[in-house]
Structure 1
Protein backbone atom coordinates (compact mmCIF):
# COMPACT_ATOMS: atom_id res chain seq x y z
CA UNK A 1 0.00 0.00 0.00
CA UNK A 2 2.66 2.54 1.03
CA UNK A 3 6.23 2.69 2.27
CA UNK A 4 7.04 5.21 5.03
CA UNK A 5 10.20 7.19 4.41
CA UNK A 6 10.50 10.04 6.90
CA UNK A 7 8.50 12.21 9.26
CA UNK A 8 9.24 15.87 10.04
CA UNK A 9 9.04 15.31 13.78
CA UNK A 10 12.28 15.81 15.76
CA UNK A 11 12.65 14.23 19.20
CA UNK A 12 12.47 16.68 22.10
CA UNK A 13 13.34 14.87 25.34
CA UNK A 14 16.03 12.34 24.40
CA UNK A 15 19.54 12.61 23.01
CA UNK A 16 18.92 9.57 20.82
CA UNK A 17 16.39 6.76 20.40
CA UNK A 18 18.61 4.02 21.83
CA UNK A 19 15.84 1.49 22.45
CA UNK A 20 14.44 1.82 18.93
CA UNK A 21 17.91 1.31 17.48
CA UNK A 22 18.57 -1.63 19.80
CA UNK A 23 15.30 -3.35 18.93
CA UNK A 24 16.08 -3.06 15.23
CA UNK A 25 19.58 -4.43 15.80
CA UNK A 26 18.34 -7.37 17.87
CA UNK A 27 15.74 -8.28 15.26
CA UNK A 28 18.36 -8.25 12.51
CA UNK A 29 20.85 -10.30 14.54
CA UNK A 30 18.21 -12.88 15.45
CA UNK A 31 17.16 -13.23 11.82
CA UNK A 32 20.74 -13.67 10.61
CA UNK A 33 22.19 -15.78 13.43
CA UNK A 34 19.29 -17.81 14.81
CA UNK A 35 17.12 -18.02 11.70
CA UNK A 36 20.02 -18.46 9.30
CA UNK A 37 18.98 -15.36 7.33
CA UNK A 38 15.78 -17.13 6.34
CA UNK A 39 17.33 -20.49 5.41
CA UNK A 40 14.38 -22.90 5.46
CA UNK A 41 15.51 -25.44 8.05
CA UNK A 42 16.93 -22.87 10.48
CA UNK A 43 13.86 -20.64 10.14
CA UNK A 44 11.45 -23.52 10.72
CA UNK A 45 13.38 -24.74 13.74
CA UNK A 46 13.51 -21.24 15.24
CA UNK A 47 9.76 -20.85 14.71
CA UNK A 48 9.11 -24.05 16.67
CA UNK A 49 11.56 -23.11 19.42
CA UNK A 50 10.65 -19.46 19.90
CA UNK A 51 7.53 -18.77 17.83
CA UNK A 52 4.15 -18.43 19.53
CA UNK A 53 1.94 -21.48 18.90
CA UNK A 54 -1.62 -20.88 20.12
CA UNK A 55 -2.28 -24.55 20.85
CA UNK A 56 0.63 -24.55 23.31
CA UNK A 57 -0.67 -21.48 25.13
CA UNK A 58 -4.12 -23.05 25.49
CA UNK A 59 -2.65 -26.49 26.40
CA UNK A 60 -4.31 -28.14 23.42
CA UNK A 61 -0.93 -29.50 22.28
CA UNK A 62 2.63 -29.88 23.53
CA UNK A 63 6.03 -29.73 21.90
CA UNK A 64 8.42 -32.67 22.15
CA UNK A 65 10.78 -32.16 25.14
CA UNK A 66 13.74 -31.34 22.91
CA UNK A 67 11.93 -28.41 21.35
CA UNK A 68 10.46 -26.92 24.51
CA UNK A 69 13.47 -24.70 25.24
CA UNK A 70 11.52 -21.73 26.66
CA UNK A 71 8.27 -21.65 28.66
CA UNK A 72 5.19 -21.38 26.48
CA UNK A 73 4.32 -18.03 28.08
CA UNK A 74 7.72 -16.61 27.09
CA UNK A 75 6.86 -17.10 23.42
CA UNK A 76 4.25 -14.35 23.79
CA UNK A 77 7.29 -12.07 23.49
CA UNK A 78 10.01 -14.12 21.79
CA UNK A 79 7.92 -14.58 18.65
CA UNK A 80 8.18 -10.84 18.00
CA UNK A 81 11.93 -11.13 17.35
CA UNK A 82 11.54 -13.71 14.56
CA UNK A 83 10.61 -13.04 10.93
CA UNK A 84 9.62 -15.10 7.95
CA UNK A 85 11.79 -13.38 5.34
CA UNK A 86 14.01 -10.38 4.65
CA UNK A 87 10.96 -8.53 3.31
CA UNK A 88 8.97 -9.30 6.46
CA UNK A 89 11.85 -8.11 8.62
CA UNK A 90 12.56 -5.02 6.52
CA UNK A 91 8.94 -3.87 6.48
CA UNK A 92 8.53 -4.12 10.24
CA UNK A 93 11.86 -2.49 10.99
CA UNK A 94 11.23 0.36 8.57
CA UNK A 95 7.97 1.24 10.33
CA UNK A 96 9.73 0.97 13.70
CA UNK A 97 12.57 3.21 12.46
CA UNK A 98 10.25 5.94 11.18
CA UNK A 99 7.73 6.00 14.04
CA UNK A 100 9.47 4.44 17.05
CA UNK A 101 11.72 7.40 17.88
CA UNK A 102 8.88 9.79 18.67
CA UNK A 103 6.99 7.24 20.76
CA UNK A 104 10.21 6.47 22.66
CA UNK A 105 10.72 10.20 23.09
CA UNK A 106 7.22 10.56 24.54
CA UNK A 107 7.81 7.78 27.08
CA UNK A 108 11.50 7.49 27.85
CA UNK A 109 13.73 4.50 27.19
CA UNK A 110 12.60 2.04 29.88
CA UNK A 111 8.88 2.66 29.50
CA UNK A 112 9.13 2.43 25.72
CA UNK A 113 10.80 -0.98 25.95
CA UNK A 114 8.09 -2.18 28.34
CA UNK A 115 5.44 -0.69 26.04
CA UNK A 116 6.87 -2.47 22.99
CA UNK A 117 6.94 -5.86 24.73
CA UNK A 118 3.43 -5.42 26.12
CA UNK A 119 2.10 -4.59 22.66
CA UNK A 120 3.79 -7.73 21.32
CA UNK A 121 2.19 -9.83 24.06
CA UNK A 122 -1.23 -8.22 23.51
CA UNK A 123 -1.03 -8.99 19.80
CA UNK A 124 -0.14 -12.60 20.53
CA UNK A 125 -2.98 -13.02 23.04
CA UNK A 126 -5.60 -11.66 20.63
CA UNK A 127 -4.21 -14.00 17.96
CA UNK A 128 -4.61 -16.90 20.41
CA UNK A 129 -8.15 -15.84 21.26
CA UNK A 130 -9.12 -15.90 17.58
CA UNK A 131 -7.55 -19.31 16.91
CA UNK A 132 -6.89 -21.18 20.16
CA UNK A 133 -6.38 -24.56 18.49
CA UNK A 134 -3.94 -23.39 15.82
CA UNK A 135 -0.60 -25.17 15.69
CA UNK A 136 0.93 -22.72 13.19
CA UNK A 137 3.75 -20.68 14.80
CA UNK A 138 3.24 -16.94 14.89
CA UNK A 139 6.39 -14.92 14.11
CA UNK A 140 7.08 -11.26 13.44
CA UNK A 141 7.21 -7.89 15.16
CA UNK A 142 3.99 -6.73 13.50
CA UNK A 143 1.92 -6.76 16.70
CA UNK A 144 4.48 -4.69 18.59
CA UNK A 145 5.00 -2.32 15.66
CA UNK A 146 1.22 -1.93 15.30
CA UNK A 147 1.19 -0.71 18.89
CA UNK A 148 3.90 1.83 18.06
CA UNK A 149 1.91 3.04 15.05
CA UNK A 150 -1.27 3.42 17.11
CA UNK A 151 0.60 5.36 19.79
CA UNK A 152 2.20 7.63 17.17
CA UNK A 153 -1.21 8.34 15.70
CA UNK A 154 -2.54 9.25 19.16
CA UNK A 155 0.40 11.58 19.71
CA UNK A 156 1.00 13.14 16.28
CA UNK A 157 -1.96 12.90 13.88
CA UNK A 158 -1.09 16.24 12.24
CA UNK A 159 2.60 15.63 11.56
CA UNK A 160 3.47 15.31 7.86
CA UNK A 161 4.97 12.01 6.69
CA UNK A 162 6.85 11.32 3.47
CA UNK A 163 5.70 8.05 1.92
CA UNK A 164 6.00 6.13 -1.33
CA UNK A 165 2.43 5.42 -2.37
CA UNK A 166 2.03 2.26 -4.47
CA UNK A 167 5.76 1.78 -4.05
CA UNK A 168 6.72 4.60 -6.43
CA UNK A 169 4.80 7.86 -5.88
CA UNK A 170 6.37 10.20 -3.28
CA UNK A 171 3.78 12.01 -1.19
CA UNK A 172 3.86 14.13 1.96
CA UNK A 173 0.66 13.68 3.93
CA UNK A 174 -0.61 14.12 7.51
CA UNK A 175 -0.23 11.06 9.71
CA UNK A 176 -3.96 10.92 10.30
CA UNK A 177 -4.52 10.15 6.62
CA UNK A 178 -1.65 7.71 6.18
CA UNK A 179 -1.73 5.83 9.46
CA UNK A 180 -5.48 6.16 9.84
CA UNK A 181 -5.88 4.34 6.53
CA UNK A 182 -3.37 1.72 7.67
CA UNK A 183 -5.29 1.14 10.91
CA UNK A 184 -8.57 0.88 9.01
CA UNK A 185 -7.13 -1.70 6.64
CA UNK A 186 -5.90 -3.85 9.53
CA UNK A 187 -9.37 -3.86 11.06
CA UNK A 188 -11.04 -4.58 7.73
CA UNK A 189 -8.66 -7.44 6.89
CA UNK A 190 -9.02 -8.95 10.37
CA UNK A 191 -12.81 -8.98 10.09
CA UNK A 192 -12.71 -10.26 6.50
CA UNK A 193 -10.11 -12.99 7.11
CA UNK A 194 -11.71 -16.41 6.70
CA UNK A 195 -8.67 -18.35 7.91
CA UNK A 196 -8.87 -20.71 4.93
CA UNK A 197 -5.06 -20.68 4.47
CA UNK A 198 -3.67 -20.52 8.02
CA UNK A 199 -0.16 -21.44 6.92
CA UNK A 200 0.10 -18.38 4.67
CA UNK A 201 -2.25 -15.88 6.27
CA UNK A 202 -1.17 -12.57 7.73
CA UNK A 203 -1.87 -12.46 11.48
CA UNK A 204 -4.33 -9.58 11.21
CA UNK A 205 -5.72 -10.09 14.70
CA UNK A 206 -2.23 -9.78 16.16
CA UNK A 207 -2.05 -6.37 14.48
CA UNK A 208 -5.42 -5.45 16.01
CA UNK A 209 -4.32 -6.59 19.45
CA UNK A 210 -1.10 -4.60 19.22
CA UNK A 211 -2.98 -1.50 18.05
CA UNK A 212 -5.49 -1.75 20.88
CA UNK A 213 -2.70 -2.08 23.43
CA UNK A 214 -0.76 0.82 21.94
CA UNK A 215 -3.84 3.05 21.97
CA UNK A 216 -4.56 2.27 25.62
CA UNK A 217 -1.00 2.26 26.96
CA UNK A 218 0.02 5.61 25.51
CA UNK A 219 -2.66 7.26 27.64
CA UNK A 220 -0.75 6.63 30.87
CA UNK A 221 2.77 5.64 29.80
CA UNK A 222 3.68 8.93 28.14
CA UNK A 223 5.69 11.48 30.09
CA UNK A 224 3.77 13.94 32.27
CA UNK A 225 2.91 16.95 30.15
CA UNK A 226 3.25 15.21 26.78
CA UNK A 227 0.03 16.08 24.92
CA UNK A 228 -2.08 13.86 22.72
CA UNK A 229 -3.32 14.70 19.21
CA UNK A 230 -0.67 17.37 18.64
CA UNK A 231 -2.34 19.78 21.03
CA UNK A 232 -0.36 23.01 21.07
CA UNK A 233 1.32 22.29 17.71
Structure 2
Protein backbone atom coordinates (compact mmCIF):
# COMPACT_ATOMS: atom_id res chain seq x y z
CA UNK A 1 0.00 0.00 0.00
CA UNK A 2 1.54 3.32 -1.04
CA UNK A 3 1.75 6.28 1.32
CA UNK A 4 -1.47 8.14 0.63
CA UNK A 5 -1.46 11.93 0.25
CA UNK A 6 -4.06 14.03 1.94
CA UNK A 7 -7.23 14.66 0.02
CA UNK A 8 -9.66 17.32 1.23
CA UNK A 9 -12.37 16.53 -1.30
CA UNK A 10 -11.86 12.78 -0.99
CA UNK A 11 -12.18 12.92 2.78
CA UNK A 12 -15.29 15.12 2.51
CA UNK A 13 -16.93 12.65 0.12
CA UNK A 14 -16.18 9.73 2.42
CA UNK A 15 -17.56 11.58 5.44
CA UNK A 16 -20.71 12.57 3.54
CA UNK A 17 -21.35 9.00 2.38
CA UNK A 18 -20.81 7.56 5.86
CA UNK A 19 -23.02 10.18 7.51
CA UNK A 20 -25.88 9.55 5.07
CA UNK A 21 -25.67 5.83 5.76
CA UNK A 22 -25.54 6.38 9.52
CA UNK A 23 -28.58 8.66 9.46
CA UNK A 24 -30.52 6.06 7.49
CA UNK A 25 -29.41 3.26 9.81
CA UNK A 26 -30.14 5.11 13.06
CA UNK A 27 -33.54 6.42 11.95
CA UNK A 28 -34.57 3.27 10.11
CA UNK A 29 -35.08 5.28 6.94
CA UNK A 30 -32.53 3.43 4.79
CA UNK A 31 -35.19 2.01 2.50
CA UNK A 32 -37.03 5.32 2.35
CA UNK A 33 -33.81 7.09 1.39
CA UNK A 34 -33.24 4.58 -1.41
CA UNK A 35 -36.77 5.01 -2.74
CA UNK A 36 -36.72 8.81 -2.61
CA UNK A 37 -33.09 9.46 -3.53
CA UNK A 38 -32.29 6.49 -5.75
CA UNK A 39 -32.04 6.91 -9.51
CA UNK A 40 -35.07 5.33 -11.20
CA UNK A 41 -34.82 5.17 -14.99
CA UNK A 42 -38.59 4.76 -15.21
CA UNK A 43 -39.15 7.88 -13.13
CA UNK A 44 -36.97 9.92 -15.46
CA UNK A 45 -38.79 8.48 -18.47
CA UNK A 46 -42.09 9.47 -16.91
CA UNK A 47 -40.82 13.02 -16.41
CA UNK A 48 -39.55 13.29 -19.97
CA UNK A 49 -42.30 11.54 -21.89
CA UNK A 50 -45.33 11.46 -19.64
CA UNK A 51 -46.30 8.66 -17.28
CA UNK A 52 -45.90 5.27 -18.96
CA UNK A 53 -44.17 3.11 -16.36
CA UNK A 54 -45.37 0.84 -13.58
CA UNK A 55 -44.41 3.40 -10.92
CA UNK A 56 -47.36 4.88 -8.99
CA UNK A 57 -48.43 8.04 -10.78
CA UNK A 58 -49.50 9.77 -7.57
CA UNK A 59 -46.46 8.96 -5.43
CA UNK A 60 -45.39 12.18 -3.61
CA UNK A 61 -41.69 12.17 -4.50
CA UNK A 62 -39.69 14.36 -2.13
CA UNK A 63 -36.52 14.53 -4.25
CA UNK A 64 -36.79 16.04 -7.76
CA UNK A 65 -35.95 13.48 -10.43
CA UNK A 66 -33.21 15.71 -11.86
CA UNK A 67 -31.30 15.52 -8.57
CA UNK A 68 -31.50 11.76 -8.16
CA UNK A 69 -28.31 10.95 -10.12
CA UNK A 70 -26.47 12.94 -7.42
CA UNK A 71 -28.46 11.82 -4.38
CA UNK A 72 -28.22 8.17 -5.44
CA UNK A 73 -24.42 8.43 -5.41
CA UNK A 74 -24.53 9.06 -1.64
CA UNK A 75 -26.80 6.13 -0.82
CA UNK A 76 -25.75 2.51 -0.26
CA UNK A 77 -27.57 -0.78 -0.01
CA UNK A 78 -25.76 -1.89 3.14
CA UNK A 79 -22.66 -1.63 5.28
CA UNK A 80 -20.60 -3.93 3.06
CA UNK A 81 -21.55 -1.94 -0.04
CA UNK A 82 -20.57 1.28 1.71
CA UNK A 83 -17.30 -0.11 3.10
CA UNK A 84 -16.09 -1.45 -0.24
CA UNK A 85 -16.83 1.78 -2.07
CA UNK A 86 -15.25 3.96 0.61
CA UNK A 87 -12.09 1.83 0.71
CA UNK A 88 -11.56 2.30 -3.03
CA UNK A 89 -12.48 5.98 -2.79
CA UNK A 90 -9.90 6.66 -0.07
CA UNK A 91 -7.05 4.90 -1.86
CA UNK A 92 -7.71 5.92 -5.46
CA UNK A 93 -9.35 9.25 -4.68
CA UNK A 94 -6.47 10.65 -2.66
CA UNK A 95 -3.94 9.68 -5.32
CA UNK A 96 -5.99 11.32 -8.06
CA UNK A 97 -6.81 14.41 -6.06
CA UNK A 98 -3.09 14.95 -5.45
CA UNK A 99 -2.37 14.46 -9.15
CA UNK A 100 -5.19 16.51 -10.66
CA UNK A 101 -5.91 19.07 -7.97
CA UNK A 102 -9.11 19.31 -5.95
CA UNK A 103 -11.20 21.14 -8.55
CA UNK A 104 -10.38 18.75 -11.38
CA UNK A 105 -10.89 15.79 -9.07
CA UNK A 106 -14.38 17.00 -8.16
CA UNK A 107 -15.18 17.51 -11.83
CA UNK A 108 -14.07 13.97 -12.59
CA UNK A 109 -16.16 12.58 -9.75
CA UNK A 110 -19.21 14.53 -10.90
CA UNK A 111 -18.72 13.34 -14.47
CA UNK A 112 -18.69 9.76 -13.20
CA UNK A 113 -22.02 10.32 -11.46
CA UNK A 114 -23.63 11.76 -14.62
CA UNK A 115 -22.03 9.20 -16.93
CA UNK A 116 -23.23 6.34 -14.76
CA UNK A 117 -26.82 7.58 -14.72
CA UNK A 118 -26.80 8.39 -18.44
CA UNK A 119 -25.62 4.97 -19.60
CA UNK A 120 -27.87 3.13 -17.14
CA UNK A 121 -30.83 5.13 -18.46
CA UNK A 122 -29.86 4.62 -22.09
CA UNK A 123 -29.68 0.84 -21.68
CA UNK A 124 -32.91 0.46 -19.70
CA UNK A 125 -35.02 3.63 -19.67
CA UNK A 126 -37.99 1.85 -18.08
CA UNK A 127 -36.17 0.16 -15.19
CA UNK A 128 -38.26 0.19 -12.02
CA UNK A 129 -35.45 -0.68 -9.61
CA UNK A 130 -33.59 2.27 -8.06
CA UNK A 131 -29.83 2.51 -8.51
CA UNK A 132 -27.85 3.54 -5.42
CA UNK A 133 -24.17 3.76 -4.60
CA UNK A 134 -21.01 5.69 -5.37
CA UNK A 135 -19.73 2.97 -7.69
CA UNK A 136 -20.38 4.93 -10.88
CA UNK A 137 -18.33 7.89 -9.69
CA UNK A 138 -15.64 5.61 -8.30
CA UNK A 139 -15.51 3.80 -11.64
CA UNK A 140 -14.58 7.14 -13.23
CA UNK A 141 -11.75 7.50 -10.71
CA UNK A 142 -10.52 3.98 -11.44
CA UNK A 143 -10.53 4.66 -15.17
CA UNK A 144 -8.46 7.82 -14.72
CA UNK A 145 -6.11 6.07 -12.31
CA UNK A 146 -5.43 3.15 -14.65
CA UNK A 147 -5.05 5.43 -17.65
CA UNK A 148 -2.76 8.00 -16.06
CA UNK A 149 -0.63 5.86 -13.79
CA UNK A 150 -0.09 2.61 -15.66
CA UNK A 151 3.59 2.34 -16.53
CA UNK A 152 3.27 -0.49 -19.01
CA UNK A 153 1.17 1.24 -21.63
CA UNK A 154 0.10 -0.40 -24.92
CA UNK A 155 2.03 0.51 -28.04
CA UNK A 156 0.48 2.06 -31.13
CA UNK A 157 -1.40 -0.41 -33.30
CA UNK A 158 -0.65 0.61 -36.87
CA UNK A 159 -2.10 4.10 -37.35
CA UNK A 160 -3.96 3.91 -34.03
CA UNK A 161 -2.10 5.88 -31.31
CA UNK A 162 -1.05 4.07 -28.17
CA UNK A 163 -3.33 6.25 -26.03
CA UNK A 164 -6.37 5.18 -28.04
CA UNK A 165 -5.33 1.53 -27.80
CA UNK A 166 -4.97 1.94 -24.04
CA UNK A 167 -8.42 3.53 -23.70
CA UNK A 168 -10.08 0.83 -25.80
CA UNK A 169 -8.28 -1.94 -23.91
CA UNK A 170 -9.32 -0.53 -20.53
CA UNK A 171 -12.92 -0.03 -21.65
CA UNK A 172 -13.13 -3.58 -22.98
CA UNK A 173 -11.57 -5.03 -19.84
CA UNK A 174 -13.89 -3.12 -17.51
CA UNK A 175 -16.95 -4.05 -19.57
CA UNK A 176 -15.91 -7.70 -19.53
CA UNK A 177 -15.36 -7.70 -15.77
CA UNK A 178 -18.79 -6.21 -15.15
CA UNK A 179 -20.55 -8.58 -17.53
CA UNK A 180 -18.89 -11.52 -15.80
CA UNK A 181 -19.92 -10.19 -12.40
CA UNK A 182 -23.52 -9.90 -13.58
CA UNK A 183 -23.37 -13.50 -14.80
CA UNK A 184 -21.85 -14.68 -11.52
CA UNK A 185 -24.59 -13.09 -9.41
CA UNK A 186 -27.49 -13.88 -11.75
CA UNK A 187 -30.43 -15.32 -9.86
CA UNK A 188 -29.29 -13.94 -6.50
CA UNK A 189 -30.68 -11.08 -4.45
CA UNK A 190 -27.55 -9.05 -5.13
CA UNK A 191 -28.25 -6.61 -7.94
CA UNK A 192 -25.32 -4.91 -9.65
CA UNK A 193 -25.91 -1.91 -11.91
CA UNK A 194 -23.17 -2.87 -14.34
CA UNK A 195 -24.12 -0.27 -16.94
CA UNK A 196 -23.78 2.47 -14.34
CA UNK A 197 -20.28 1.17 -13.60
CA UNK A 198 -19.47 1.13 -17.31
CA UNK A 199 -20.90 4.62 -17.84
CA UNK A 200 -18.85 6.06 -15.02
CA UNK A 201 -15.72 4.32 -16.29
CA UNK A 202 -16.21 5.71 -19.80
CA UNK A 203 -16.60 9.22 -18.37
CA UNK A 204 -13.31 8.77 -16.54
CA UNK A 205 -11.54 7.57 -19.68
CA UNK A 206 -12.82 10.54 -21.66
CA UNK A 207 -11.85 13.20 -19.10
CA UNK A 208 -8.67 11.80 -17.54
CA UNK A 209 -6.16 13.07 -20.10
CA UNK A 210 -7.73 16.53 -20.67
CA UNK A 211 -7.89 17.11 -16.92
CA UNK A 212 -4.28 16.05 -16.48
CA UNK A 213 -2.83 18.00 -19.39
CA UNK A 214 -2.10 21.09 -17.32
CA UNK A 215 -0.69 18.95 -14.53
CA UNK A 216 2.19 16.55 -14.20
CA UNK A 217 0.47 13.60 -12.53
CA UNK A 218 2.23 12.24 -9.47
CA UNK A 219 3.14 8.66 -10.25
CA UNK A 220 2.38 6.11 -7.55
CA UNK A 221 5.25 4.11 -6.11
CA UNK A 222 3.88 0.82 -7.36
CA UNK A 223 3.38 -0.58 -10.81
CA UNK A 224 0.19 -1.38 -12.62
CA UNK A 225 -0.31 -3.61 -15.64
State whether TM-score is above 0.5: yes
Inter-partner Cα distance in structure 1 for 2:110 and 2:56: 24
Conservation of the 8 A alpha-carbon contact between 1:50 and 1:70: yes
Q: Structure 1 length normalisation: TM-score? A: 0.73
Structure with greater helix share of residues: 2
5+ residue gaps in structure 1? Answer: 1-5, 160-179
Q: Structure 2 length normalisation: TM-score? A: 0.76
Instruction: Kindly provide the CA deviation profile for residues 82-140 of structure 1, in whole angstroms up to 9, marking residues without a partner as x.
Output: 00010000000000111111211122112211221220111111111111111101000
Inter-partner Cα distance in structure 2 for 1:87 and 1:43: 14
3-state SS of 1:81 partner: coil
5+ residue gaps in structure 2? Answer: 47-51, 153-168
Q: Which residue of 1 aligns with 2:200?
A: 210
Inter-partner Cα distance in structure 1 for 2:128 and 2:8: 35
Structure with greater strand share of residues: 1
Inter-partner Cα distance in structure 1 for 2:27 and 2:82: 10
1:166-205 equivalent positions in 2, closer than 5 A: 184=173, 186-190=175-179, 193=182, 200-205=190-195
Conservation of the 8 A alpha-carbon contact between 1:38 and 1:84: no
1:155-170 equivalent positions in 2, closer than 5 A: 155-158=148-151
Is residue 2:37 matched to residue 1:50?
yes
1:1-233 equivalent positions in 2, closer than 5 A: 6-7=1-2, 11=5, 16-33=6-23, 35-36=24-25, 39=28, 42-59=29-46, 60-61=52-53, 67-158=60-151, 184=173, 186-190=175-179, 193=182, 200-222=190-212, 224-226=214-216
Q: What is the alpha-carbon root mean square deviation over aligned residues?
A: 3.2
Q: Return closer, same or farther for 1:181/1:150 CA change in 2, 3 Å cut-off.
A: closer
